[in-house]
């Protein structure tokens, strides 16, 4: 065989692998990129403005944390063919099942409101009224789910994930100091001023945005709806790992943006940062606003589905995106109900939006530890998982990560309840 034949053979083989990956790719990338939702983008922009490039290394460390947790949902979904809500009901009985389901519904609904807050704030920079933003977003989300195929929904969602990468070119457009970025990325360091209460709060906020309860429920249900089998698990893990890399890169892009142009300023939300950027460089401001809208949109489409899937699994409704409206009326009814309810709250004049954002942090910490503990216990149950149960190394890694997330997210939630605690 000559060298050209060999090269052609390798090219065909590599292309086959890429095509196979493109078929399997979806839930992992979507959940990870959607993790950078409106709340996440706000946290990153505030972190960059406050601490410059000094905490990029910390975000890089959070990539594997997110991967290890989400990878477990891929295995659990592919082996049991059950979503997380149904798996909890089945394994731990109705008490823990109802607790998880109702807590998920409340957390998701409140988080959805924060996504709509992000979307409306982002488009208000371009003068788009709130009602128009809500109506357009809900219409696009409706079209995405009503076309009747999971595959199509997933690929459209992946396009929105691609749009989330807009922060990367935006970061390059502000001519950031490359040496400071590399130093901040690969040399663990504390910002000038050392370990302060404020820094601790920001670290907690960044960890808090890394893993949210809806992510666990969403990815497991998506794996089931996609029909992933045990043989697809390796690709599912690659998909999740790739998504984890993307989420870190986007988060770093946000930090670079605000660290370069708004260093030392108190930025409370991403929309304010975008408005500041409009005055400095209108293209960067536009990119940030589009990114914020996209982040809120991605969060909203995933979160609303996470709840609808969970309800469908437990109540025994048809609950697949492969079903049309006639085949799964309750599933879609619930989906639209949550969307419209969240969108309506944002439009109410004088609605306590700040209080709602605060509540999300508090309510989420009542669900996250439970969902994570159930995940670990299920992954250690030989009867459920067979040969795919956690290995000793996975247990050490996962239990440490879960314990760390529980402690930090609890402290974060409590500090949201009692803001003076850290002063």
Question: In sequence order, which residues have a C-beta less than 8 Å from that of residue 407 and are 6 or more positions away?
Answer: none
What burial letters (b/e) apply to 13-31, b meaning 16+ CB within 10 Å? eeeeeeeeeeebbbbbbbb
Least spacing, CB of residue 360 vs another protein, in Å: 13
Contact 165, 243 (CB under 8 A): no
Q: Which is nearer to another protein, 156 or 406 (CB)?
A: 406
Q: Which is nearer to another protein, 127 or 316 (CB)?
A: 316
Least spacing, CB of residue 391 vs another protein, in Å: 16
Q: Which is nearer to another protein, 77 or 413 (CB)?
A: 413
Q: Which is nearer to another protein, 122 or 314 (CB)?
A: 314
CA end-to-end span of the chain: 72
The backbone region for 191, taken as left when phi is positive above 0, alpha when psi lies in -120 to 50, beta otherwise, is: beta
Least spacing, CB of residue 384 vs another protein, in Å: 7
Q: How far is CA 192 from CA 25, 202, 328, in A?
A: 41, 15, 56
Question: In sequence order, which residues have a C-beta less than 8 Å from that of residue 245 and are 6 or more positions away?
Answer: 63
Contact 364, 213 (CB under 8 A): yes
For the beta carbon of residue 243, count every other beta carbon within 10 angstroms.
27
Instruction: Give dist(CA 293, CA 160) in Å, integer.
Output: 10
Q: What is the dihedral of CA 383, 237, 243, 54, to 10 degrees?
A: 90
Least spacing, CB of residue 373 vs another protein, in Å: 5
Least spacing, CB of residue 93 vs another protein, in Å: 4
Least spacing, CB of residue 94 vs another protein, in Å: 4
DSSP per-residue string spanning 383-423: HHHGGGSPPHHHHHHHHHHHHHHHHHHHHHHHHHHSGGGG-
Least spacing, CB of residue 378 vs another protein, in Å: 7
Least spacing, CB of residue 415 vs another protein, in Å: 11
Residues lying near another protein in the complex (CB under 8 A):
89-94, 96-97, 314-316, 362, 365-366, 369-370, 373, 376-378, 380-381, 383-384, 406, 410, 413-414, 417-418
Q: Which is nearer to another protein, 122 or 364 (CB)?
A: 364
Q: Which is nearer to another protein, 180 or 414 (CB)?
A: 414
**Cα 167–Cα 173–Cα 178 angle in degrees, nearest 5:** 90
Q: Which is nearer to another protein, 90 or 183 (CB)?
A: 90
Q: Which is nearer to another protein, 244 or 364 (CB)?
A: 364
Q: Which is nearer to another protein, 92 or 388 (CB)?
A: 92
Least spacing, CB of residue 413 vs another protein, in Å: 8
Instruction: Give dist(CA 368, CA 100) in Å, integer.
Output: 9
Instruction: Give dist(CA 7, CA 309) in Å, integer.
Output: 46
Least spacing, CB of residue 162 vs another protein, in Å: 38
Q: Which is nearer to another protein, 96 or 200 (CB)?
A: 96
Query: Could you tell me where the DSSP H helices lie in 175-328?
Result: 178-186, 197-210, 213-226, 233-261, 270-280, 282-315
């Amino acid at each position: 065989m000559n060298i050209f034949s060999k090269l052609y053979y390798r090219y065909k083989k590599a292309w086959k692998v890429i095509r196979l990956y493109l078929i399997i790719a979806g839930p992992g990338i979507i959940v990870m990129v959607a993790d950078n939702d409106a709340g996440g983008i706000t946290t990153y922009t505030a972190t960059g403005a406050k601490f410059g490039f000094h905490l990029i290394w910390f975000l890089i460390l959070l990539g594997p944390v997110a991967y290890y947790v989400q990878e477990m949902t891929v295995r659990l979904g592919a082996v049991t063919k059950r979503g997380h809500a149904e798996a909890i009901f089945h394994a731990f009985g109705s008490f823990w099942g109802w607790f998880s389901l109702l807590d998920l519904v409340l957390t998701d609904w409140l988080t959805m409101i924060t996504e709509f807050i992000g979307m409306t704030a982002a488009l208000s920079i371009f003068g788009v009224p709130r009602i128009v933003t809500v109506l357009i977003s809900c219409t696009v989300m409706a079209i995405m789910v009503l076309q009747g195929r999971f595959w199509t929904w997933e690929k459209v969602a992946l396009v929105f994930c691609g749009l989330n990468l807009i922060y990367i070119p935006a970061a390059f457009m502000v001519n950031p100091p490359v040496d400071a970025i590399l130093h901040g990325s690969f040399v663990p360091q504390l910002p000038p001023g050392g370990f302060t209460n404020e820094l601790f709060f920001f670290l907690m906020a960044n960890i808090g945005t890394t893993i949210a309860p809806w992510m666990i429920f969403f990815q497991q249900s998506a794996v089931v709806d996609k029909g992933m089998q045990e043989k697809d698990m390796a690709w599912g893990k690659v998909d999740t790992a790739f998504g984890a890399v993307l989420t870190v890169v986007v988060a770093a892009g946000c930090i670079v943006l605000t660290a370069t142009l708004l260093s030392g300023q108190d930025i409370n939300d991403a929309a304010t940062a975008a408005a500041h950027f409009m005055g400095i460089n209108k293209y960067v401001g536009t990119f940030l606003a589009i990114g914020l809208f996209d982040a809120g949109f991605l969060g909203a489409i995933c979160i609303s589905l996470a709840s609808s899937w969970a309800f469908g699994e437990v109540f025994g409704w048809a609950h697949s995106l492969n079903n049309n409206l006639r085949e799964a009326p309750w599933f879609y009814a619930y989906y639209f109900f949550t969307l419209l309810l969240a969108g309506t709250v944002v439009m109410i004049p004088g609605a306590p939006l700040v209080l709602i954002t605060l509540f999300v942090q508090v309510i989420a910490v009542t669900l996250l530890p439970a969902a994570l503990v159930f995940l670990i216990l299920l992954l250690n149950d030989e009867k459920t998982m067979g040969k795919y149960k956690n290995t000793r190394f996975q247990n050490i890694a996962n239990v440490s990560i879960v314990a760390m997330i529980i402690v930090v997210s609890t402290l974060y939630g409590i500090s949201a309840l009692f803001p003076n605690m850290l002063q």
